[in-house]
């Protein structure tokens, strides 16, 4: 993965790579923080904290970057900003560096789950209206007979066959999605 260069640069304290990270990503993080009630100073702090989280996580021997670097960085920064705001609204003490560096949620797992959901949703939206409706009804736990009646199929058996074809088609679309291949390391 080409974004691995950012991780290596962080680990080696490579000034050029750090400058690239700031140049390529800090404005986007800053924009998000400001849109969500923060200041430029807040954005700088959150960006720095997010880089420290990545640095600390990437030192673990089993660390693997499974998404794009910016996706990972943004997810961590967003999480830190949410946590800081929660601390402020609860009138508790400020979020400490220890809180930030030892995030009690598995950020990577959250980011991967979110990315998988995004891949699913974007491919689902490419489907025809009938497949979308059929799968939505199925996921809403409607019986095949109910689905057949709602959509206008002959019977539950026909609905079951169509559902199977729609699911298989969706699986193919997801597996051929470049984001899915990147996420699964294929």
Output the pTM of the full model: 0.54
∠ at Cα 19 (48, 80), nearest 5°? 20
pLDDT at 137: 92
What confidence tens digit (pLDDT) does each residue in 53-74 have?
A: 888 888 888 787 877 888 889 9
Name the pLDDT band for 115 (thresholds 50, 70, 90): confident
Q: What is the mean pLDDT of residues 127-154?
A: 93
Which residues are within 8 A (CB) of 124 and not within 5 positions of it... i.e. 6 or more apart? 132, 135, 170
Distance CA 6, CA 14 (A): 9
What confidence tens digit (pLDDT) does each residue in 9-51 have?
A: 999 999 999 999 999 999 999 998 999 889 999 999 999 999 9
* CATH no. of 4-105: 1.10.1740
**Local structure of residue 59 (DSSP, 8 states):** T
Where are the chain's structural domains?
Answer: 4-105, 121-184
pLDDT at 129: 92
Distance CA 166, CA 137 (A): 13
Q: What is the mean pLDDT of residues 145-156?
A: 95
What is the torsional sign of CA 142, 146, 147, 151?
Answer: negative
Higher pLDDT, 111 or 162: 162
Cβ distance 64 to 19 under 8 Å? no
């Amino acid at each position: 993965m080409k974004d691995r260069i950012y991780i290596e640069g962080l680990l080696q304290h490579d000034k050029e790579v750090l400058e690239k990270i700031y140049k390529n990503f800090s404005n986007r993080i800053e924009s998000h923080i400001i849109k969500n009630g923060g200041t430029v100073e807040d954005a700088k702090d959150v960006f720095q904290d997010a880089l420290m989280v990545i640095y600390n996580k990437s030192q673990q021997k089993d660390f693997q970057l499974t998404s794009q670097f910016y996706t990972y960085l943004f997810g961590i920064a967003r999480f830190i900003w949410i946590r800081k705001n929660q601390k402020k609204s609860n009138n508790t003490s400020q979020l400490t560096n220890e809180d930030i560096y030892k995030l009690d949620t598995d950020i990577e797992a959250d980011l991967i789950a979110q990315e998988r959901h995004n891949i699913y949703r974007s491919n689902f939206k490419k489907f025809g209206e009938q497949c979308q409706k059929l799968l939505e009804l199925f996921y809403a736990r409607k019986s095949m007979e109910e689905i057949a009646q709602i959509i206008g199929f002959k019977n539950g058996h026909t609905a079951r066959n169509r559902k199977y074809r729609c699911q298989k088609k969706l699986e193919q679309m997801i597996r051929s999605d470049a984001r899915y291949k990147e996420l699964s390391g294929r």
